[in-house]
């Protein structure tokens, strides 16, 4: 996701996460150790990918009674890391439903997807990678539409991320949503597959 280089107008001083939730309710922004970063508008390609991924994963999660899918502006609070992030798409399993609060997720999601933009590449691969890993997010996907590249990571036995082989042709298969599968080539199609066509492919309709 893209971030504004300017600080939020009301964030000249450090604020608490609770103050952030109150002052920035509904605003696409992130809170890191008292400082707020406003996120810039997404590109058309970014927006289409976000809409496509959430549009196919949420019906699958509902039909299989697995949990819920969230998108910005809804924060994921990683308390030990002093971070309130807003991933592009994230899934919370039903057994972790108690983490879902009115304005934020109180703890790690079960799957986090970040759609990389030109100015977020270092952040998504650096700070967020480390934060999600140490907070215990089991699966992390990085989708880079500019480079047409996808990376998937899962926590190993040592609680560090290990790359997942996507095969050839490459297919994303989320552990958190067993039975779902997303060929990587779908992400670069113009137009992307219609949600109804995907749900038919998955046997849901």
CATH number for the domain including 177?
3.90.1570.10
pLDDT grade, residue 36 (50/70/90)?
A: confident
- The least confident of 2-11, 105-114, 124-133, 145-154 is 2-11
Q: What is the DSSP letter of 66?
A: -
Name the percent of the chain lying above pLDDT 70.
90
Nearest Cα to Cα of residue 138 among 95, 196, 98: 95
- Whether 177 is in a domain gets the answer yes
pLDDT grade, residue 202 (50/70/90)?
A: very high
Altogether, the residues listed in the chain come to a count of: 205
- Whether 114 is in a domain gets the answer yes
- Whether 47 is in a domain gets the answer yes
pLDDT grade, residue 19 (50/70/90)?
A: confident
Which residue in the block uniquely carries the two structure tokens 């079960």?
110
**CA 22, 28, 29 angle in degrees (round to 5)?**
70
- The predicted-structure confidence for 126-153, as pLDDT tens digits, reads as follows 889 999 999 999 999 999 999 999 999 9
Number of domains within the chain: 1
Phi and psi dihedrals of 28, rounded to 5? -75, 95
Instruction: Tell me: cis bond preceding 87? Omega within 30 of 0 counts.
Output: no
- Whether 25 is in a domain gets the answer no
Q: Is the pLDDT of residue 106 over 50?
A: yes
75-78 and 67-70 strand pairing: unpaired
User: What's the sign of the alpha-carbon dihedral 62, 66, 71, 74?
Assistant: positive
Query: What is the per-residue DSSP string for 72-103?
Result: SS-EEEEGGGTEEE--SEEEEEGGGGGGB-SS
- Whether 4 is in a domain gets the answer no
108: domain range?
42-77+85-201
- The least confident of 20-29, 51-60, 187-196 is 20-29
pLDDT grade, residue 177 (50/70/90)?
A: very high
- Whether 124 is in a domain gets the answer yes
Residues forming a β-bridge with 111:
91
Q: What is the mean pLDDT of the chain?
A: 88
- Whether 103 is in a domain gets the answer yes
Q: What is the pLDDT of residue 82?
A: 76
29-32 and 83-85 strand pairing: antiparallel
Q: Is the pLDDT of residue 21 over 90?
A: no
Q: Are 69 and 58 in contact (CB under 8 A)?
A: yes
- Whether 71 is in a domain gets the answer yes
Residues forming a β-bridge with 3:
39
- The predicted-structure confidence for 64-94, as pLDDT tens digits, reads as follows 999 999 998 899 999 775 778 999 999 999 9
């Amino acid at each position: 996701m893209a971030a504004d280089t300017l600080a939020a107008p009301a964030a000249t001083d450090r604020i608490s996460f609770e103050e952030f939730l109150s002052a920035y309710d509904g605003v696409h922004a992130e809170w890191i150790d008292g400082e707020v970063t406003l996120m810039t508008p997404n590109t058309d390609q970014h927006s289409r990918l976000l809409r496509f991924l959430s549009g196919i994963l949420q019906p699958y999660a509902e039909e299989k009674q697995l949990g819920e899918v969230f998108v910005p502006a809804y924060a994921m609070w990683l308390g030990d890391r002093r971070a309130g992030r807003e991933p592009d798409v994230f899934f919370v399993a039903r057994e972790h439903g108690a983490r879902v609060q009115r304005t934020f997720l109180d703890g790690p999601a079960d799957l986090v997807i970040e759609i990389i933009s030109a100015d977020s590449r270092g952040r998504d691969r650096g700070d967020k990678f480390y934060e999600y890993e140490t907070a215990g997010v089991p699966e992390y996907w990085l989708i880079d539409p500019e480079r047409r590249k996808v990376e998937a990571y899962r926590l190993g036995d040592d609680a560090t991320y290990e790359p997942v082989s996507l095969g050839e042709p490459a297919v994303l298969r989320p552990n958190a949503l067993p039975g779902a599968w997303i060929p990587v080539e779908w992400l670069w199609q113009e137009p992307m597959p219609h949600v109804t066509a995907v749900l038919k492919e998955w046997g849901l309709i």
